[in-house]
A and B are shown apart, each in its own frame.
Chain A
């Protein structure tokens, strides 16, 4: 595009005169920017059809054909193995080593066990909130397993498997859930709002879909850094969200800007059928989320989220496409069923039949499906299963105990981190709080926090 030419003309027009000092009183000189002289396809005399700038490849037709989405075939769902754990195309098979597959399986089981225990712990009032991933373990663990550790990830909240697969330890999970002094979020966030700098996963926020444009922007930053540092391996950003979040304006905004800026981002939608109580029929009327991808000019595929091999292969391919020509966004819709309640604050049987859930649990599930595959290959049996589950249960409970006993984070963290430096106003507020704590010592339990009230003095000393 001859923008360079156009703006140079502008500069000559304005800056050589005293225009900069025009003081708003004189009329602005008429300048025809260069782009007004660009001949577009529409003005080519030999063009066979008039091309509107808004849809360059659209042909005219004299048959009126109203596009009715309901008559179109739904986008097909990619799978590698069926629900009995049988690989469908033996030629292609699964591109996963046995050892690796066992690791993935163990992580899925561990996640489900942690979910079970923490859900119960919340019911006993030992932590304030929890959200399980049941039915979606394959999506988070499978996709995370084929990303580069340097790839940047943005999550919604039902992707604990991504953290686990990337190396978040049980202690890391528990410290965050109990908001103790070892929580990297410094006790500021609700449970399940994990974050890790080392693992390149941004901290979760409760606001739905806001992370989707972040992922587009981060991918653009990575694209620029990929260009500026050609020696380091290229990176992509990956964003997870549910089908409910995809109704937010941020989803639209993000996919559109990702497409126009051609960013190396993979958007992974977990379509589990429900947004709290709202079934997908009240969420949208198109062909799921995948059908929207093409509308933004984004490469798209739909995958069986209960099939971890399909998830892996799709994500791997998406990552490859995302890095093509410097950057291309990709949308993957992973189909699943939310087996658990939305959260510990939700009783899903108020809006769906228990039998429906039981049916899904029995019929198809990423863990049982993979177990069938492992057993089919002779890699797994009932004894190993029992031993694994008992070992993992013990590990989770041990981490649980360690974290629950931990002290709460220092009170100073209530103020720090709002700005890079403490503001004068904040300093005053810390002093006031310090004074209140001193004069009403029986009203506050400061000793359960690391350093007691002393951490506020420390903060004031450091910010003199």
Chain B
């Protein structure tokens, strides 16, 4: 009998992962925020969206992939599996790579580190005590001694205890060490971010703009499994500290064909997801799916042509690609989940205003989260949805 009853340890872990608000790991079902008669605000069609590569051929056509990868195989996986594969490849090819964080060892609350502890040993893939400042500080120290630690913050909402370590230490390590050349460039800090339908105040935040105000850090947000794998491998390889934010709603939802081989994607390039002539929409992460749906509806209704750009790297960002596009279209909209004031949109809009002033035919529009917190039942009113992006396109074109 005793062997059937779950142990205290097992039971407590089980309860923690399902009940404690800190551990809301994943939705068991997807809440539809769509109203009954909604035409625009339907649920995102991940199975058909053009943002994801539904065929092997589409995935391998990506010119950013190296030749041997483009001639290789793909498989259909979701975003957490892509993260897992990147970590697996990094652990396999570089003995300096360490993977750790809270609840990493059993696979992580989002399953990103599944099987890694078993395959690479608990010396390299391990749990840390529940202390963000501790585990980030630990990662910085390990990186400064030549390791390449990939630390996980369980939710971006809980990165703030580690803010001092990230801002004052990780970002400034190389600079303050001067000619000694010591740095913590091997460091990557991964964190799930963004809204998830029911994450409320502390499982929904997108704090990327706080990190983009700090010289010395790269801030990267992938939109899909292909991107997650390539960008994470680049992040681990680069010699600067990287904040790698993973849109958690996409962990399971975004499924596409991903090259089986390892590959790097550039950390300083935005990507034009869809070419267009009349408006440029700049976004990153989950809202790209919203934008894509809004663009489809708007193009049909208004007969316009919209260009969609994925920033990918939030800082230092690819101003050239964005400016080139806006100079062509003359109109720009920036879309992100976090609130408007001093958000990424402010920086992008100011740059466009400064460097493409004479080409602008309408004010740069920002479609962002409102100036409030993400109260549990209000998410659908707060975060940019298809209707708001659709309306922004309409207003920008009509201006």
Contacts and interface: CB of A to CB of B under 8 A. Distances in A.
Q: Do A and B come from one complex?
A: yes
Interface of A: 3-4, 6-8, 10-11, 14, 20-25, 27-28, 33, 35-40, 42-45, 52-53, 152, 154, 183-189, 193, 195-197, 202-203, 205, 207, 210, 212-222, 224-225, 227-228, 237, 249-250, 252-254, 256-257, 260-261, 413, 417-420, 423-425
A152 B145 contact: yes
Contact of A24 (B30, B135, B239): B30
B9 A40 contact: yes
B272 interface: no
Contacts of B137: 210, 212-214, 216-217, 250, 253-254
B372 interface: no
Given A23-B47, A40-B7, A249 B26 contact: no
A14 B81 CA distance: 11
A57 to B, nearest CB: 16
Contacts of A38: 7, 9-10
A224 B147 contact: yes
A23 B47 CA distance: 8
A149 B12 CA distance: 46
Given A11-B115, A36-B6, A253 B319 contact: no
Contacts of B46: 23-24
Interface in B306-323: 316, 319-320
Given A249-B161, A253-B129, A425-B319, A221 B178 contact: no
Identify the interface centre among B78, B98, B140, B145: most chain A CB within 10 Å of its CB: B145
B366 interface: no
A257 B131 contact: yes
Contact of A186 (B47, B105, B179): B179
B142 interface: yes
Given A3-B105, A213-B165, A11 B215 contact: no
A425 B318 CA distance: 10
Interface in B324-358: none
A202 B144 contact: yes
8 contacts: A14-B114, A28-B28, A37-B3, A185-B179, A213-B137, A216-B134, A253-B137, A420-B183
Contacts of B238: 420
Top 5 A-B pairs ranked by shortest CB distance?
Answer: A213-B137, A253-B134, A217-B141, A214-B141, A221-B145
Nearest to B134: A253
A181 to B, nearest CB: 10
Given A249-B161, A257-B135, A425-B316, A27 B29 contact: yes
A184 B168 contact: no
Interface stretch (B55-63, B65-73, B120-128, B283-291): B120-128
Given A42-B8, A183-B178, A253-B131, A218 B2 contact: no
Nearest to B317: A425
A219 B22 CA distance: 30
Contacts, number: 252
Interface in B40-93: 46-47, 76-78, 81
Contact of A184 (B3, B178, B240, B316): B178
A413 B126 CA distance: 38
B378 to A, nearest CB: 22
A8 B118 contact: yes
Given A207-B169, A216-B141, A256-B131, A22 B78 contact: yes
Given A210-B164, A210-B169, A217-B140, 15 more contacts: A3-B122, A22-B78, A35-B9, A183-B178, A193-B176, A202-B144, A202-B177, A202-B182, A205-B169, A221-B142, A224-B124, A224-B147, A249-B133, A419-B316, A420-B183
A4 B253 CA distance: 28
B182 A197 contact: yes
Identify the interface centre among A25, A221, A420: most chain B CB within 10 Å of its CB: A221
Contacts of B185: 420
Contacts of B319: 424-425
A215 B134 CA distance: 11
Identify the interface centre among B6, B140, B180: most chain A CB within 10 Å of its CB: B180
Contacts of B180: 184-185, 195-197, 203
Contacts of B179: 184-186
Given A10-B114, A218-B145, A261-B126, A43 B178 contact: no
A33 B103 CA distance: 14
Given A183-B178, A184-B179, A250-B133, A205 B138 contact: no
Nearest to B27: A24
Given A203-B180, A418-B175, A214 B106 contact: no
B223 interface: no
Contact of B7 (A39, A210, A256): A39
B181 interface: yes
Interface in B130-177: 131, 133-147, 149, 161, 164-165, 168-169, 172, 174-177
A257 B28 contact: no
Contacts of A195: 176-178, 180, 182
B192 interface: no
B216 interface: yes
A132 to B, nearest CB: 22
Contacts of B182: 195, 197, 202-203
Nearest to A51: B8
Given A213-B165, A220-B142, A7 B107 contact: yes
B391 interface: no
A141 B12 CA distance: 49
A35 B122 CA distance: 15
B146 A221 contact: yes
A52 B8 CA distance: 8
Contact of B30 (A8, A25, A228): A25
B27 A228 contact: no
Identify the interface centre among A28, A213, A420, A423: most chain B CB within 10 Å of its CB: A213
B122 A420 contact: no
B36 to A, nearest CB: 20
Contact of B174 (A6, A22, A220, A417): A417
Contacts of B181: 197
A113 to B, nearest CB: 26
A418 B10 contact: no
A414 B144 CA distance: 22
B141 A207 contact: no
Contacts of A216: 134, 137-138, 141
A36 B10 contact: yes
Nearest to A239: B141
Given A35-B106, A213-B141, A413-B178, A7 B114 contact: yes
Contacts of B394: none
A220 B138 contact: yes
A217 B168 contact: no
A214 B10 contact: no
Contacts of A220: 98, 138, 141-142, 147
A257 B133 contact: no
Given A40-B7, A207-B164, A256-B129, A188 B316 contact: no
B2 A43 contact: yes
Nearest to B75: A20
B193 interface: no
A21 B5 contact: no
A189 B176 contact: yes
A207 B131 CA distance: 18
Contacts of A187: 178
Contacts of A197: 177, 180-182
B201 interface: no
Nearest to B82: A20
B117 interface: yes
B380 interface: no
